[in-house]
Amino acid sequence: MSSPKLLSIIELGGYPDFSGLYRRLGFVPEKVHSVRQAQAWLKKNQPAIVVAEFHFDPELRDRVSNLESLFAALQRFAAHARVIVFIEKAHRPRLEKVMQRHPILGALDYPVSEGLLERLLKQAAVAET
C-alpha cells in the first residue's frame, strides 16, 4: 500500500514548513501556492488530507472565502479528502458559514501549533483505517 498524499496550499505562509511533520506521520507531502494550482493538481492526484489557509476577501461577490473553489474541486476529484484549515482567529465566524456547507476536519488559529496539527493529522489517519 502506498503512503497517503497530503496537499498543502501555501498562499501567504508566515508559519513553519510542516513538511517534516507530514513525512514523519507517513504522508507524501505536495506543496502548491494557490487554489488554482491545487485544482489542477487534484485532477491528477487523490490526497487523503488537504491543508489550506483561510482567506476572507470582502470583494468576493459570490464566495465567502478562497475555500469555496477548493471545495468544488474536492467534491469533483477527491471527495474523501479531509481538510485542515489555518485561520486568523478574527475570521472564524466567516469560516463557520463555510463549515455549514463543507466538511472541515479542523481549523487551527495562527500561530499554528505543530502539536495541534499533529493531533488532527493522527485523527484523520485513524479515521481512514
Q: Indicate which CATH number applies to the domain containing 13.
A: 3.40.50.2300
What is the model's pLDDT at position 124? 86
What is the model's pLDDT at position 57? 66
Contact 70, 37 (CB under 8 A): no
Amino acid, single-letter form, for residue 24: R
Give how many domains the chain has, as a whole number: 1
85-116 residue pLDDT tens? 999 999 899 888 888 888 899 999 999 999 99
Beta-bridged to residue 106, according to DSSP, are 84
Q: What range defines the domain where residue 30 resides?
A: 5-128
What is the model's pLDDT at position 94? 86
Residue with cell 487554489: 35
Residue with cell 468576493: 60
Q: Where are the beta strands (DSSP E) in the chain?
A: 5-9, 28-32, 47-53, 82-87, 106-109
49-79 residue pLDDT tens? 999 999 876 666 555 677 888 998 999 988 8
What is the model's pLDDT at position 128? 66
Beta-bridged to residue 85, according to DSSP, are 52, 107
What is the model's pLDDT at position 1? 61
